[in-house]
Structure 1
Amino acid sequence: MNDKAFKPVIKNLYGLHQVKFLTPFEAACWAVLSQRISMKVAHNMKERITHVVGDKITIDDVEYWTFPSANQIKNLGEEKLTTILNNHRKSEYLMNVSESFANIEEDFLRYAPLEEVKNWLLNIKGIGEYSAHLELIRGLGRMDDISQKDMMLIKCAKNYYGSDVINENLNEIAEGYKDYKGYWAYYLRSDCSNKWRGQK
């Protein structure tokens, strides 16, 4: 694809990779924990779950904690989870996520048609458009997805493709990148963020 507007972005960020979570379930939990809350508070919640519910392993005399599985959180129960998180709504949503992930094959999430997987995610109470996108990209590495409601992406695209960019023609540009349109969006946002930080 001959995308002249995007060439400087590739040059600036060549070699950049999207960081992913170790498991799809951990990514989904993070999507719930980080909704409408500071990153510091979300990290503290995640750390508490990990240390109370997860498993401890020792390598070369150093202790590490693993993020719990869907079954571990599901079997914990919502009441105990609320005690750990001190947040009833997030506990409810995490329990919904845990029950759903405990009853689905990972192969479905990784290899089923994108829209089927996205619809399955959106049917989980507590998972919205943004959370589903985070799961697809950072949990499953499905770089063929872009969020239709990503206002930052639209704002960034205007910097490179012109001020008249809206959802419809943004999707047309993205479709040119086919299975890698998620990377196209990630590179655009990253380059914009670098420029905005440089202007401060």
Structure 2
Amino acid sequence: MSCITWLGPFDLLNQNRYFGGWPSAGTGRHDVAMAFPVEGWQSSAAVLLRQRADGGIDGTVAGTPDPDAAFRQALAVLSLDVDGTGYPEVGRADPAIGGLQRDHNYLRPVLFHSPYEAACAFVLGHRLRIAQGRAIRQRIAERHGDQITVAGVRLHSFPTPQRLLELHTVPGVSEEKMRRLHGIARAALDGDLDRRRLRELPAVEALGQVRRLRGIGEFFAAGIVLRGAGVVDAVPDERITRTGIERLYQLPSEPDRARIEAITASWRPYRMWCAVLLQLSERRRPSKVHGGRTARTQDTVRLGGSGDGSGAAG
């Protein structure tokens, strides 16, 4: 059993409300179970996280000889490896952000289990509906990953990079996607997709490194760095963020990059956390409809140009 009294506001029930889908041990939504290859790639683990009445987080780990590493990785999935004590202060300094924080109960981003799994998910889901991509990943986990039971919950982890390299055909996955997955697996084994390393690199360098992977363009690279590594102090340059800032700050038009940098300076060092709140708020608003059809825009996602990409990892 591992435990943490995290730094800053956090509510696991609230995380489940917005980013649900985790299995439970049957004790209610105050616990979540997850399984994944442990970074370092020597084993896989299943972790049950439970929030105590005093707010602390307990973790039960199974399946790995390194339970501490697995527990830390599970905390990272919930952005609990980051010191969030200064997060409320951002809202006090910027009332617009403060309103979003209170509306969402100081929600933190939920990440992929690792940048490796994020990259695999983006490749597998390319040109598929979200549900299709998830179903393929689940089938791969069930057939080729490790089966682990924690607190009575049976889970399947996605295959380790070593195991993925042994697979040459997977139903529903093209030959080209398999080549891309093998490239991701080799990069993970070489340490190029290590979460801590990507967080510590300057943003431009982290993106450039990820973009060297076969089939990974600018959009997927930003997703791997932001949603896989979990860079904390960066602003995604995408339409939903721009329109959200325009609405939140009652601007006369969509802001350019320089204006966004100036406005979001007050969000530091939690700019990505604030951006996630903004995006959630925007997605709850009615879509614009033109001629009976919902307007959709293909965005290019980039990290904020002035950030160093180091985040606020604790």
Coarse TM-score class (shorter-chain normalised) = 0.7 to 0.9
**How do residues 146-185 of structure 1 correspond to structure 2 at under 5 angstroms?**
146-148=235-237, 150-161=238-249, 162-164=251-253, 165-185=255-275
Label 1:174 to 1:58 Cα distance change in 2 as closer, same or farther (>3 A): same
Distance in 2 (alpha carbons) for counterparts of 1:126 and 1:118: 14
| Structure 1: stretches of 5+ with no match in the other structure | none
> How big is the shift at 1:61?
5.9
Tell me the C-alpha RMSD between the 2 structures: 2.3
Greater strand content: 2
**How do residues 41-60 of structure 1 correspond to structure 2 at under 5 angstroms?**
41-59=132-150
Distance in 2 (alpha carbons) for counterparts of 1:170 and 1:12: 22
> How big is the shift at 1:144?
1.8
SS in 2 for 1:63: strand
SS in 1 for 2:186: helix
Taking CA–CA contacts closer than 8 Å with sequence separation of 6 or more, which of the two structures ends up with the larger relative contact order?
Answer: 1
Distance in 1 (alpha carbons) for counterparts of 2:272 and 2:221: 13
The 8 Å contact of residues 148 and 154 in structure 2, kept in 1 or not, is answered as yes
Residue 90 (1) aligns with residue 177 (2): yes
TM-score, length of structure 2 as denominator length:
0.55
Distance in 2 (alpha carbons) for counterparts of 1:122 and 1:14: 35
228, 234, 254: which one aligns with 1:139: 228
The 8 Å contact of residues 118 and 132 in structure 1, kept in 2 or not, is answered as yes
Equivalent position amino acid for 2:271 in 1: K
> Which range is displaced more, 97-106 or 38-47?
97-106
SS in 1 for 2:233: coil
Percent of pairs with identical residues: 22
TM-score, length of structure 1 as denominator length:
0.82
Give the total of aligned pairs.
192
Distance in 1 (alpha carbons) for counterparts of 2:204 and 2:107: 26
| Structure 2: stretches of 5+ with no match in the other structure | 1-89, 288-314
Residue 22 (1) aligns with residue 110 (2): no
Label 1:168 to 1:34 Cα distance change in 2 as closer, same or farther (>3 A): farther
Distance in 2 (alpha carbons) for counterparts of 1:61 and 1:185: 37
